[in-house]
A and B are shown apart, each in its own frame.
Chain A
Amino acid sequence: MTLATFFQHVLNALQWGSFYALIALGYSMVYGVLMLFNFTHGDIFMVGAYIGFFVSSGLVAFASLGIVALPNWLILVLTIILSMFLTSFVGMLVERVGYRPLRGVPRASAAITGLMIGIVLETGNLALLGARRRKFPILIETQGYQLGPVTVTNTKIMIVFLSLLLTLALHQFVRRSKWGMAMRAMAYDFVVVPLRGVPLNTIAALTFGLGSALAAAAGIFFGIAYPVLNPYMGLLIGWKAFVAAILGGRGSILGAALAGFLLGFIEIFVAAVFPSTLRDVIAYSIILLILTFRPHGFFGEPYSAHLRL
């Protein structure tokens, strides 16, 4: 592998990892604050991508009417903001339907309802929109820049940059804001903190909503990078991001993002060096090894008795 292809792969891995990182953040937040597996999250990513598709198509159609001049970059910004906003409600709905009624019972039951809501979302999408694959509208023309021998495209730069920005924004939100403090407190003690007047339901909804908004962003970025959407797109990527989230360590936002990027790097480089069909075997074997030697993830605390399933 020459140095040029190496950097090319690094760039691809950064883009691929940013999808994992953004989705993993949602898993990690729900897992950190509520100690639940949100198995719907991969499908929320899919829903986010579809919402992004409809919002952007709608805006493009609206712009073509010629009433208001909407440049493409503005459409993109509006799409991202609107889709994140709309998808956060999907997340809150999932929490309300599948998770809130099951609080205080064995956590695995909520995992089952999560799985089932995911299947409903996939099939519902298929039933409503049909099996035809949707093509995400191209909002920004892909331009390649030559940095020496390495080709850099503007979309890749934008995706990586925005993903990092969103990750840091979330980190700052959780670190500094009052809501973030409430979330961290909830993660610390699930029983006592609500007694001190922290609204448990609001925090839970906020956690799901924030995670879903990030998944929507990931969905739109995915649509920009690979503009074909299908109802099952969230299945595999969701499970992989879930692995990344847990690998990062319980409740650690930066850990989840880091693990997401790591997973992206592993996958891209394995595919670059070995036959690409071996990607999953090697990627998961590496994860298995990491977890064997660091059983609590990168930044997680050791297991304690009350965190039992």
Chain B
Amino acid sequence: MEVRERPPAEAITKNTPLAKVRSQLAQIPLLGWLLGTLLTVVIEQAVGRPLALALGLSNIPGLFGLRIMLTKPALIPSAVAYVLLVYVLPTLVVARLSAPLANRLAQQLLDRFPLWVSLIVHLGLFYATMHLWGDISAYRVLFLKFILISIILTLSLNLVNGYMGEFSCSHPGFMALGAYGASVLTVLLFVNDDVFGTSLLPPALGPFLFPLTLVAGGLLASVGALVVAIPSFRTRGDYLAIISLAFMFIVKSVIENLEIIGGPRGFMNQPKWANLPTVFVWTAICLWMIYNFTRSTIGKAMCAVRDDEIAASAMTVNTRHTKIVTFLFAAFWAGVAGGLFAHVIGYINPGTFGVYKLSEVLAMVYLGGLNSVVGSIAGAAGLQLLMEVLRPLELFKWIVIPVLLIVLMIRRPTGLIAFTEVNIEDLLQPRRVPGKER
């Protein structure tokens, strides 16, 4: 696994103002940045609204003022001022001021405790930031949930299309299986409605057993993935693409024909248990598992199968085992993403899991970059943000986004961040202060 070398802070020339800023910023560890953003959102909670009103905005801008800039060009200066005053400036100042403290803290965390403690602390801070940011409006919470679900989905597709080098089109199908599996279980077990009658278990138990229903949905998707995984023993590449595409259509069509779960009308009444902490925890688990999966023996076997199946098999890689495990694992996470999606919205219909979903997920994977967990996160979050920000353009959104993606693909054909990985241990390290050895 390739690890990107970070240049030492001393190496940056200190002549230009930009370089000075960069050398200042290079001293801030991740912990410092997280502290900065956390304080920023606290500040936004405290003074965001008066400040926004003072700047002439009607309310706190939902997404960094980007949508306001599109709908009301006259307000662009105020929106920019708001972003600078509330987000950029406090983050920079706090991060820089707290850098010595944060560096020491990060060092202590790494020295005294195992790695995962430091990781949990960072994730906790990140979640706190996200939670407080989302506290401002329900819209932001929904947006964050969609980003997190897209990340799970993109990562799991990246396993098959990136690490294993197939071109699988079946992910909307896996997602649909997971969504319907989990929804049917929760509605059957915990909800009194007219489809399945009274709940089999007391509804109060629901939120506690909800993860189990998600897992069940994921397992259902895994079972469905066998349909694609078994033919992949004999064929790959383009013919497998067709098999997976056919699978996607079959799933959609089967669901449309099952009257008991609503058929083409969709399935509703799912309790909205997928709140932000739940989705976040699932995303974190998914990230952790997939990150480790790609670095495990089977992950390496996966890359070997991608590069040369025959050679891999000659070097004692069990290609069938590798393929089936990867497919089932990826499908499981797609199913979990589907289950979360269903319990965020509280309604699903088979039309959601069609070719448009496929285009979206494929675009996220290839935009972000193959073989890269970070790339997938960037691709999913980037595209989701783009789709949300450009919403005021209405119909023209679907011209602007594809054109942007085409330009991006042509400029960076392998995606934004492909075939590179951030070493987590590296990321959590404190930064050295220039000229001062530890």
Q: Which residues of A contact B (CB under 8 A)?
A: 31, 37, 97-98, 101-102, 105-106, 108-109, 111-113, 115-117, 119-120, 122-124, 126-127, 235-236, 239, 242-243, 246-247, 250, 277-281, 284-285, 287-288, 291-292, 295-297, 300, 303, 305, 307-309
**For residue B403, which residues in chain A have a CB less than 8 angstroms away from its CB?**
116, 120
**For residue A309, which residues in chain B have a CB less than 8 angstroms away from its CB?**
165-167, 237-238, 241
Binds A, one of B13-21, B41-49, B391-399: B391-399
- Closest chain-A Cβ to B364's Cβ sits at a distance in Å of 10
Q: Does B205 contact A (CB under 8 A)?
A: no
What CA separation (Å) do A111 and B363 show in the bound complex? 10
| Contacts A/B (CB < 8 Å), 15 sampled | A102-B413, A106-B370, A109-B415, A115-B359, A116-B405, A120-B406, A123-B395, A235-B355, A239-B355, A246-B238, A280-B253, A288-B231, A303-B236, A303-B237, A305-B308
> Is A278 a contact partner of B257 (Cβ separation < 8 A)?
yes
Binds A, one of B60-68, B244-252, B327-335: B244-252
What CA separation (Å) do A31 and B406 show in the bound complex? 20
**For residue B6, which residues in chain A have a CB less than 8 angstroms away from its CB?**
none
Residue picked from A31, A37, A303, most chain B C-beta under 10 Å: A303
> Is A280 a contact partner of B252 (Cβ separation < 8 A)?
yes
What CA separation (Å) do A306 and B38 show in the bound complex? 50
- Closest chain-B Cβ to A182's Cβ sits at a distance in Å of 23
> Is A119 a contact partner of B237 (Cβ separation < 8 A)?
no
**For residue A279, which residues in chain B have a CB less than 8 angstroms away from its CB?**
253
> Is A31 a contact partner of B238 (Cβ separation < 8 A)?
yes
What CA separation (Å) do A113 and B410 show in the bound complex? 8
Q: Assuming A102-B409, A123-B398, A288-B250, what are 18 further A-B pairs, CB within 8 angstroms?
A: A37-B241, A105-B413, A109-B415, A112-B362, A116-B405, A119-B398, A119-B401, A239-B249, A243-B246, A250-B238, A284-B253, A287-B246, A288-B227, A288-B247, A296-B235, A303-B235, A309-B166, A309-B238
Top 8 A-B pairs ranked by shortest CB distance?
A295-B235, A105-B413, A116-B402, A280-B253, A123-B398, A284-B246, A281-B253, A101-B410
> Is B402 a contact partner of A295 (Cβ separation < 8 A)?
no
> Is B409 a contact partner of A113 (Cβ separation < 8 A)?
yes
Residue picked from B246, B253, B308, B398, most chain A C-beta under 10 Å: B246
What CA separation (Å) do A123 and B237 show in the bound complex? 30
Minimal Cβ-Cβ distance residue in B for A279: B253
Minimal Cβ-Cβ distance residue in B for A114: B406
Of B227, B249, B257, B406, the residue contacting A116 (CB under 8 A) is B406
Q: Which residues of B contact A (CB under 8 A)?
A: 161, 165-167, 227, 230-231, 234-239, 241-243, 245-247, 249-250, 252-254, 256-257, 308-310, 355, 359, 362-363, 366-367, 370, 395-396, 398-399, 401-403, 405-406, 409-410, 413-415
What CA separation (Å) do A236 and B354 show in the bound complex? 10
Of B161, B231, B237, B309, the residue contacting A307 (CB under 8 A) is B237
> Is A247 a contact partner of B242 (Cβ separation < 8 A)?
yes
> Is B363 a contact partner of A115 (Cβ separation < 8 A)?
yes
> Is B399 a contact partner of A120 (Cβ separation < 8 A)?
yes
What CA separation (Å) do A295 and B237 show in the bound complex? 11
**For residue B235, which residues in chain A have a CB less than 8 angstroms away from its CB?**
291, 295-296, 303
What CA separation (Å) do A106 and B369 show in the bound complex? 11
Minimal Cβ-Cβ distance residue in A for B366: A112
- Closest chain-B Cβ to A222's Cβ sits at a distance in Å of 19
- Closest chain-A Cβ to B412's Cβ sits at a distance in Å of 9
- Closest chain-B Cβ to A292's Cβ sits at a distance in Å of 5
What CA separation (Å) do A121 and B401 show in the bound complex? 13
What CA separation (Å) do A100 and B27 show in the bound complex? 44
- Closest chain-B Cβ to A294's Cβ sits at a distance in Å of 9
**For residue B166, which residues in chain A have a CB less than 8 angstroms away from its CB?**
309
**For residue A101, which residues in chain B have a CB less than 8 angstroms away from its CB?**
410
Of A112, A124, A288, A300, the residue contacting B246 (CB under 8 A) is A288
> Is B257 a contact partner of A297 (Cβ separation < 8 A)?
no
- Closest chain-B Cβ to A110's Cβ sits at a distance in Å of 8
**For residue B237, which residues in chain A have a CB less than 8 angstroms away from its CB?**
303, 307-309
> Is B406 a contact partner of A98 (Cβ separation < 8 A)?
yes
**For residue A243, which residues in chain B have a CB less than 8 angstroms away from its CB?**
242, 245-246
- Closest chain-A Cβ to B121's Cβ sits at a distance in Å of 38
